[in-house]
Structure formats: C-alpha cells, structure tokens
Amino acid sequence: MSEKTKIYILCGFAGSGKSSFLKNMSAYLSEEKIGIIVSELRRVPGDGKVFRKNGINFTVRKNGSISCSCKSSDIINAMAEMADHSLKYLFIEKQGSIDPDNFCRVMDAVAERKGDVYKYKGAICIIDGLYFLDQLENQDVVKKQLEHCQLAVINKRDLVGKKTLERIRVKISDVNQDVTVQESQFGKFDYSFLGEDLLGIHAKACEDEAEALESKPEHMILRYDGDLKKSELSRFLKEASKVCYRIKGYFKLEDGWNLVDVMDGRVEYSASGLSERGSILVLVSRTGKSARETIEGCWERIIGKKMNLS
C-alpha cells in the first residue's frame, strides 16, 4: 500500500505571510510531489499543464506537483482529484477560522470516494508580528485560528522589538497552551515540523460538537457586471468595512481590473492582468450577526446600481 498523503491546513489573517510560506515551501520541497489548494480569489504561481475538472482549474507541474484555486464548497472535489497524483504533502489554505468538525466531515467524504489516502497532520497558523496584538483584541477569527492550530509561526519578527515578541508569545499561550511556536523573518520559515509529530485535530474533531452558527462570521459574495470609478468603490468599501473584518476580490475600474483587499478599514488596490466575466467581492462579517442589510444599504446609497449579494 502506498504511503498516505500528509495534509496540513494553513491559516492566518490577511497579510500575515501565507503566500510567502507557500512559495518558500514549494521551493523547499521542489524535489517532492506536493499539492496546494488556495482560495478562489488567489492564483497559485507557477507554470505547468492546466486542465479543468468539476469546474475547477488545476495546474500540474513537471515534477507532478499539482495546485488549484477553488471555492471552499469545492474542496472535496479538489482533494479527490489530487488523490490520483500520489502526492507526499497537501497544503490547504483556510480562509477564516478553522472548524475541526467540518474538516472531519470533508476528510470522511473524500475517503468515501477515494479510500483512506490522506493523513491529517495538523494546522499551521501564520501570525503577523506587526498587527497580531491588535487583531487578537478586535477579531474573533484570529483567536479561533489559534485555538485549533498545532503550530503557530510568528512572521515578520525582524520588524518588531523583543518586548513585543514576548507579549505575542504570552498571548498565544493564553489562547492555546499546547501549540508549538516558531518565529520567522525575511520570509524564511523553519520546516522541521515536517519531520515532527504535530498533534493532529482529526480524531478530536470527530468527537467535538459543531460551533453554534451565530458565533461564526458570515461569508457573502457580491457580484457586479459593469464598471465603477475607484472613488465610488472606495467609499462603499470603507462603509462596508465597519461591519466586515475582511473584503477581498477582483473589480473592474476605470484603470482596468484590480485586486481589491480591505482589512481594518484599509483599502488597497493592485493591478491585475486577469480578464474576469464580472466583478466579485467576498465579504466576511465581523461577528455571526448578519451584516447583509448594512452592506445592501451602503451599496444602494453610494453606488445605486444593480448587484447581487449571495
């Protein structure tokens, strides 16, 4: 029987360094066949043969490594497809908080289709050394990520002082006394955990009760066909960010397609060469209480054009 593919969940707040981790991990494991699954709003860099299956675009590189970007609802299909590629490791980027109960069900669903081909090895939380203390105080999702991870990596340690670093370690311990803590600087990570026995959450997850729905942030998708002025969209985003801790997506503006990223009221744009069918934003509420009515009101007041919020 072939060796099971080892799975790691990767989480962390926006801008913490998840992309750098995956990029450096790919280079570190360049001789191994690995898989990477990220959010549909991010593209995994790298060239290779592209194919489409079950509505998901996959990229297979020369060494057999495979990657894709997909919706969270497509994770089972993505894992099932990757099970046919004899991977050594699979890294899954998780948006928002980790739900152990839900991931247990995902693993079981994949096992029904492909057999016992995966072995869950734990969750890795990338922590932004610059903003973690503020995020932990104001964003429930950061605490939930820490509660269920086995390895916490304090990134950007070169940008914070020793006292701040000590405070971060204390706060991490307050949330999760059992987590292993590492530090990273200049985008360089310690990959020794690959040879260690991180305590997984899978067995425990199957025994845990699901969290109450009202405690989970609400995820909404805004779709819009047409162009907008950047000034108009910025006004809407600043208002919407009062009830959303994260907004991210692609939008067609007067200067072309832009990647939009909003965190803590800070709106950032970067040019994108993508040609999308329509503009799309993913909005995540600050609490489990619905922010839909507020968002719809902001859009109507500031933009006043037809959109779809699902």
**pLDDT given at position 186:** 74
Each residue of 225-283: pLDDT tens digit?
988 999 999 999 999 988 887 888 889 999 888 888 887 778 999 887 766 678 888 88
Share of the chain above pLDDT 90, in %: 30
Each residue of 32-69: pLDDT tens digit?
999 999 887 666 656 778 888 888 888 898 889 999 98
Q: Are 92 and 8 in contact (CB under 8 A)?
A: yes
**pLDDT given at position 199:** 55
pLDDT above 90 (res 284): no
When pLDDT is cut at 50, 70 and 90, the band that residue 12 belongs to is: confident
Average confidence (pLDDT) over 185-197: 82
**pLDDT given at position 276:** 62
Q: Which of 101-110, 118-127, 166-175, 215-224 has the lowest mean pLDDT?
A: 215-224
**pLDDT given at position 206:** 41
C-beta neighbour count of 42 within 10 angstroms: 15
pLDDT above 70 (res 145): yes
- Distant-in-sequence, close-in-space partners of 230: CB < 8 Å, separation ≥ 6: 253, 254, 255, 258, 269
**pLDDT given at position 201:** 43
**pLDDT given at position 13:** 81
**pLDDT given at position 35:** 94
pLDDT above 70 (res 101): no
Q: Which of 62-71, 80-89, 92-101, 151-160 has the lowest mean pLDDT?
A: 92-101
- Distant-in-sequence, close-in-space partners of 263: CB < 8 Å, separation ≥ 6: 13, 14, 15, 245, 246
Instruction: Give me 159's structure tokens.
Output: 């940008």
Q: Are 283 and 217 in contact (CB under 8 A)?
A: no
pLDDT above 90 (res 72): no
Integer angstrom CA distances of residue 46 from 36, 61, 62, 145, 275: 12, 8, 11, 28, 18
The three-state secondary structure class of 20 is helix
- All structural domains of the chain, each given as residue ranges with its CATH number in brackets, are 5-205 (3.40.50.300), 215-309 (3.30.1220.10)
Share of the chain above pLDDT 70, in %: 86
